[in-house]
Chain A
Amino acid sequence: MQKKPELNGTLLEVKDLKVHFPLRGSFVERLVGREPGSVKAVDGVSFQLQRGEVLGLVGESGSGKTTLGRALLRLAEPTEGAIVYDGRDITRVEEREMRSLRRKMQIVFQDPHASLNPAMDLETAVGHPLSIHGVTKDKVDMRRRVSEMLERVGLAPADRFLTKYPGDLSGGQKQRAVLARAIMLNPDLLVADEPVSMLDMSVRAKILELMIGLKDEFDLTYLYITHDLATARFFCDRIAIMYLGRIVELGQTEEIFANPRHPYTASLLRAIPEPDPAKGIPRDLPRGEVPDAVTPPHGCNFHPRCPRAFEVCGWEARDVRDLLEERWAGMAEQEFTREQALIGDLDALDEVSEIARVPSTEGVRSRHVVELLERIRREQPETRLWKGARSIEEGGKEALIQFHEGLEPRHLVVDSVEVECHLYDDEARGRAEEHARKGRK
């Protein structure tokens, strides 16, 4: 087999890719003509994939990893941006042309059981890529190639497996068959979407070893999707950390582990389960849920959970709601009732706005709400949100918290690592210092 030289240039380049899934609004909403919005599964992602490398794509559930992987193969339609494969823009290539391109780009899905047609035996399934692309029509040749490939992925003797149906195989065997099918056409790129996460612990390492072997033998380039940083460290040359549709940090694996730049990466690393649970290292994944991808947080997506967020990170009304709810959840009932009696319906805070309008209850003067907010601020001055608050004022029936203008993090390169965070952006920091100075005066 002819060896392709290692890392000779870019195989795939993604530029500001967005994949939005439109929500199907209710009938009434459509009648009224209101935009039902969309799930911003991938929201502006750029990276390059070098020939022969393994790039890890790591992130929590719902961060858009699978969608990004599917979009690269045009299995999900890109909304904006560009995908350049081997020097060719394939973002808008027609399905017909895409079909022949798929010989060179393959994907392995998370669930090996679901990836195989239950009504198709292994010989047909693994050989199907050959007949789809007309590589061979000859039954004998087909069987020979399939058998070779099955044995290569560890399903030996092949004769035993040719006539098996997916239902007869274990999870690990199925994933081997899926890999065999994917490699059959000798592709360049393999997107592996959590290929081992649904397998037993005992077989995970073996499948990963198999994938490493296949990569060397067939000169593959991998995009390895996982939520497990430990396997990513073992497997990947570079790692991209994804959060809510964006890649927030991308760099060499050692560099990411030794010196995480983005606060989210840092918290993920602290959250890697310790081998010895007795050590009881605190697992401090940032508090809170992953916000929903329909209306992502203002400014930096990560600011509601970020332990280092500051003035310009995008503070907004919804953060005030979270703050109040969290405060009340940990409070004695009596105090909670007294505070809650002052503040009206928190739904008023559910908007994307740099002014939080905290409503007062009927008959309560907004001055009391302002006083309450001031007190909360005094009690917990370290809460990040107050860094972003420019002023707290009375305004009719509500207290107004005005936040500093939020900025979207820019794509920065810091010592060979790509990162999207204001902490590394001198301009943003300058702006924040200015805000802070004015605040002190």
Chain B
Amino acid sequence: MARPSLTRLFGPIREARGVPKWVVIAGIAITIAFVVFALFAPWIAPYDFDTYRTADGVRFPKQGHPSGDHLFGTNVQSTDVLSRVIYGARTALEVVILAVIFSLAVGLPLGLISGYFGGKLDRVLLLVMDSLFAFPYLLLAIVVAFLLSDRLGRGVMTAAVSISVVYVPQYYRVVRNHVISVREETYVEAARALGAKPRTVISRYILQNVIQNVPVIATLNAADAILTLAALGFLGYGIQPTDAAEWGYDLQRAISDAGAGIWWTGLFPGFAIVTLVTGLTLLGEGLNDVLNPVLRRRPIQAVILPERQSRLPAGEAGV
């Protein structure tokens, strides 16, 4: 059972030609690199994210230039920039994975129910979700982070929840709209005609056909979520600096360095953000092209048009 569905998922990647294939592969490569950093941070990074002195108690240089000991230099708190960048990947992926799980866990069922049953419930949910969506997303995340910080502290969990609140409406919307179109399919009516309960119809006939879109939205939203997390950190509403390394926070601390010609404290975290976001976006767009047969590009054949015969006098032809 599992194998055919795996080949069904990856079949299109193999079949895809030209640009989309390379886009996906580049996206996969970048994403995998960051996942490796995240998983093996303690082994890859030379120091802990908050280490500011050697084992013998010698303090690292403050804002030290990149050197043999500190490849990316050190920052104003004397911690190792390279280590912080690597540990930052871990934080980012933790938060983003949690956020994707949370927003899926809420958005998917709501979208399914709302789309399948329609009616009043659908209208109310749609209104709520649309107003959430219309709310400036960063402000929304900040408000939620602020409200949650009392109960959950300012850790990974709080960041993940406040980010998922931003993305729930998107999952909801995409799933709901897709359900509404799938609901009209003959095979859904056929399932009803067999006597299937709504729950069975949704889980066995609709979900499977709606879920295909989810990897695409999830990767695209993950890219976006990285930016939101960084923005939260940058504005000081993110993860407690003592809890984890976080790129946005590092960027914020690096602002004053930039004027003084200390480029390494800002460049490397910034570069990490841009690379990961690009990688995830490429992956998402590529998956979209590859998995979505409607958009899949076919080799275009040159069309030979007959000589154009303009009826207009030569002078007016360009108008």
Binding site for B on A (CB under 8 A): 70, 73, 75, 98-103, 106-107, 109, 111, 114-121, 128-129, 132-133, 163, 165, 178, 181
Closest beta carbon of chain B to A199's beta carbon, Å: 15
- Count of interface residues, chain B, beta-carbon cutoff 8 Å: 19
- By a CB distance below 8 angstroms, the chain A residues around B4 are 121, 163, 165
- By a CB distance below 8 angstroms, the chain B residues around A163 are 4
> For the complex, what is the distance from the CA of A119 to the CA of B210, rounded to whole Å?
10
CB <8 Å contact, B192 and A129 = no
CB <8 Å contact, B190 and A115 = yes
Say which residue of A99, A109, A181 sits within 8 Å of B186 (CB atoms). Answer: A109
Contacts of B39-56 to chain A: CB distance below 8 A: none
- By a CB distance below 8 angstroms, the chain B residues around A114 are 185-187
B102 within 8 A of A: no
> For the complex, what is the distance from the CA of A251 to the CA of B159, rounded to whole Å?
73
> For the complex, what is the distance from the CA of A73 to the CA of B191, rounded to whole Å?
13
B243 within 8 A of A: no
- By a CB distance below 8 angstroms, the chain B residues around A106 are 193-194
CB <8 Å contact, A116 and B194 = no
Say which residue of B186, B195, B200, B204 sits within 8 Å of A115 (CB atoms). Answer: B186
CB <8 Å contact, A120 and B194 = no
B263 within 8 A of A: no
CB <8 Å contact, A75 and B194 = no
- Name 8 interchain pairs, CB-CB below 8 A, sorted by A: A70-B189, A99-B195, A107-B190, A117-B191, A120-B204, A129-B195, A132-B196, A181-B194
> For the complex, what is the distance from the CA of A181 to the CA of B186, rounded to whole Å?
14
Chain A residue with the shortest CB-CB distance to B194: A129
Encode contact with A along B81-95: 1 for CB under 8 Å, 0 otherwise: 000000000000000
Closest beta carbon of chain A to B204's beta carbon, Å: 7
> For the complex, what is the distance from the CA of A181 to the CA of B195, rounded to whole Å?
12
CB <8 Å contact, A120 and B186 = no
B242 within 8 A of A: no
> For the complex, what is the distance from the CA of A133 to the CA of B187, rounded to whole Å?
18
> For the complex, what is the distance from the CA of A106 to the CA of B209, rounded to whole Å?
24
- Most B-side CB within 10 Å, residue of A70, A73, A128, A129: A128
> For the complex, what is the distance from the CA of A154 to the CA of B242, rounded to whole Å?
69
Contacts of B181-232 to chain A: CB distance below 8 A: 185-187, 189-197, 200, 204-205, 208-209
Count, A-B residue pairs, CB within 8 A: 63
- By a CB distance below 8 angstroms, the chain A residues around B195 are 98-103, 129, 132-133
> For the complex, what is the distance from the CA of A73 to the CA of B192, rounded to whole Å?
10
Closest beta carbon of chain A to B117's beta carbon, Å: 12
- By a CB distance below 8 angstroms, the chain B residues around A98 are 195
- By a CB distance below 8 angstroms, the chain A residues around B186 are 109, 111, 114-115
> For the complex, what is the distance from the CA of A41 to the CA of B271, rounded to whole Å?
63
Closest beta carbon of chain A to B150's beta carbon, Å: 44
Closest beta carbon of chain B to A185's beta carbon, Å: 8
> For the complex, what is the distance from the CA of A98 to the CA of B194, rounded to whole Å?
10
Closest beta carbon of chain B to A256's beta carbon, Å: 29
Closest beta carbon of chain A to B143's beta carbon, Å: 34
Say which residue of B192, B197, B204 sits within 8 Å of A128 (CB atoms). Answer: B204
- Once A75-B192, A115-B186, A117-B191 are accepted as A-B contacts, the answer to whether A99 and B197 lie under 8 Å apart by CB is yes
Encode contact with A along B123-139: 1 for CB under 8 Å, 0 otherwise: 00000000000000000
CB <8 Å contact, B193 and A117 = no
Contacts of B150-186 to chain A: CB distance below 8 A: 185-186
- By a CB distance below 8 angstroms, the chain B residues around A132 are 194-197, 200
CB <8 Å contact, B208 and A75 = no
- By a CB distance below 8 angstroms, the chain A residues around B205 are 117, 120
- Most B-side CB within 10 Å, residue of A70, A103, A106, A115: A115
- Most B-side CB within 10 Å, residue of A98, A100, A118: A118
- Once A119-B208, A121-B4 are accepted as A-B contacts, the answer to whether A128 and B185 lie under 8 Å apart by CB is no
Say which residue of A117, A121, A129 sits within 8 Å of B187 (CB atoms). Answer: A117
Closest beta carbon of chain B to A159's beta carbon, Å: 15
- By a CB distance below 8 angstroms, the chain B residues around A129 are 194-195
> For the complex, what is the distance from the CA of A165 to the CA of B197, rounded to whole Å?
23
Closest beta carbon of chain B to A399's beta carbon, Å: 45
Chain A residue with the shortest CB-CB distance to B3: A163
> For the complex, what is the distance from the CA of A109 to the CA of B187, rounded to whole Å?
9
- Once A115-B186, A118-B209 are accepted as A-B contacts, the answer to whether A73 and B194 lie under 8 Å apart by CB is no
- By a CB distance below 8 angstroms, the chain A residues around B208 are 117, 119-120
Closest beta carbon of chain A to B6's beta carbon, Å: 13
- By a CB distance below 8 angstroms, the chain B residues around A128 are 191, 194, 196, 204
CB <8 Å contact, A117 and B204 = yes
Closest beta carbon of chain B to A385's beta carbon, Å: 41
Say which residue of A107, A119, A133 sits within 8 Å of B193 (CB atoms). Answer: A107
Chain A residue with the shortest CB-CB distance to B212: A119
Closest beta carbon of chain A to B185's beta carbon, Å: 6
- By a CB distance below 8 angstroms, the chain B residues around A107 are 190, 193
CB <8 Å contact, A119 and B209 = yes
Closest beta carbon of chain B to A348's beta carbon, Å: 39
- By a CB distance below 8 angstroms, the chain A residues around B8 are 165
Contacts of B54-89 to chain A: CB distance below 8 A: none
> For the complex, what is the distance from the CA of A128 to the CA of B192, rounded to whole Å?
12
Closest beta carbon of chain A to B193's beta carbon, Å: 5
> For the complex, what is the distance from the CA of A99 to the CA of B191, rounded to whole Å?
11
Closest beta carbon of chain B to A179's beta carbon, Å: 12
